[in-house]
Amino acid sequence: MTSPRKKLLLVDDHALFREGVRSILSRLDFVDIAGEARRGAEACKVAAELRPDLVLMDISLPDMDGIDATRRIKKVVPGARVIILSMHSKAAYIVDAFRAGATGYVTKDSTSLHLKECIETVLDGAYYLDPVLSEDVFHRILSQKAGAMKNEDRVHSLLTSREREIIRLIAEGHPIKTIAERLFISRKTVENHRANIYAKLDVHSTLELVRHAVKHGIIDIESWKS
């Protein structure tokens, strides 16, 4: 008897990218795209209703980062396997993703073959790390697990996922009011987060914050430029 096809939830805020992934997945005979989401909160809601076997998750989402969304989905649907499909290749992001409950990590500049391998591997119950990621990144992940983090990852670890979201939105030029509305929190809460961020990173202005965040890999310089 043929095994039932696995239900997949695709989460990415770029329509053209989702279209490309759909094209790749249409060639696989063991998965079906049962749902899609463009935002983190939407992904959590759809996952709770759909109860997918697999989630393909971007990190850079408009309302929350995909790592936080992964953590929330795993609480609601513990059996769901999550693959991070992201442009970010820094060790800190990868470590956070696996700690949040992801079981696979593939970069967006990887090949469709690697994505297929990743899907097959995680559905078989194993972990998968994209081979295009450098050996140096892999060793840094192992070092982090042993407590020997390098400077940029140590700085990164000081911040909560919500604080990293707020740094990203500040770097994009959004005012406090807009950030509060996007994250469904009060302006006062955003201001408190910003004060905590400034204290943790020892910065005193938005310009210093952005420079510090780029230097230490808290935000990705290419995505920030765009």
CA 75 to chain centre: 16
What contacts 212, CB < 8 A, 6 or more positions away?
A: 155, 201, 203, 218
By residue count, the chain amounts to: 226
d(CA 3, CA 5): 6
Exposed / middle / buried, residue 179 (Cβ in 10 Å: 0-12, 13-18, 19+): buried
Q: Provide the b/e sequence for 20-56 (b: ≥16 CB within 10 Å).
A: ebeeebeebeebbbbbbbbbbbbbbebbeebebbbbb
- Is the pTM higher than 0.75? no
Among 98, 163, 176, 167, which residue's Cα sits nearest to residue 130? 98
Distances (CA, A) of 30 to 36, 46, 54, 121, 123: 18, 21, 11, 13, 10
Q: Which of 38-42, 107-111, 155-159 is predicted with the least confidence, judged by mean pLDDT?
A: 155-159
**Percent of the chain whose pLDDT exceeds 90:** 44
Tell me which of 170 and 47 has the higher pLDDT: 47
Q: Which fold has domain 158-225?
A: Arc Repressor Mutant, subunit A (1.10.10)
pLDDT tens-digit readout, 48-71: 999 999 999 999 888 888 999 999
Query: Residue holding tokens 């952005």?
Result: 210
Report the C-alpha gap between 55 and 52 in whole angstroms: 7
> What is the pLDDT confidence band of residue 148, given thresholds at 50, 70 and 90?
very low
Q: Do domains 6-143 and 158-225 have the same CATH topology?
A: no
Residue 79: per-residue pLDDT: 94
Contact at 8 Å (CB) between 53 and 123? yes
Q: Which long-range contacts (CB under 8 A, 24 or more apart) does 143-152 make?
A: 144/91, 144/95, 145/95, 150/91, 151/216, 152/90, 152/92, 152/215, 152/216, 152/217
pLDDT at residue number 134: 57
At 1 the pLDDT is 43
Quick one: 6-143 is in which CATH superfamily?
Response regulator (3.40.50.2300)
Residue 144 predicted with pLDDT over 80: no
Structure tokens at 95: 């470590």
Q: Say which range, 32-41, 113-122, 141-150, 194-203, has the weakest mean pLDDT.
A: 141-150
Dmax (CA) of the chain: 64
Q: What is the mean pLDDT of residues 160-166?
A: 83
Average pLDDT over every residue of 130-145? 65
161 has pLDDT over 90: no
Average pLDDT over every residue of 208-224: 69
Q: How far is CA 9 from CA 31, 43, 201, in A?
A: 10, 8, 36
Are the C-beta atoms of residues 86 and 98 closer than 8 Å to each other? no
Segment 198-205 mean pLDDT: 86
- Domains of the chain, residue spans: 6-143, 158-225
- The pLDDT value recorded for residue 48 is 96
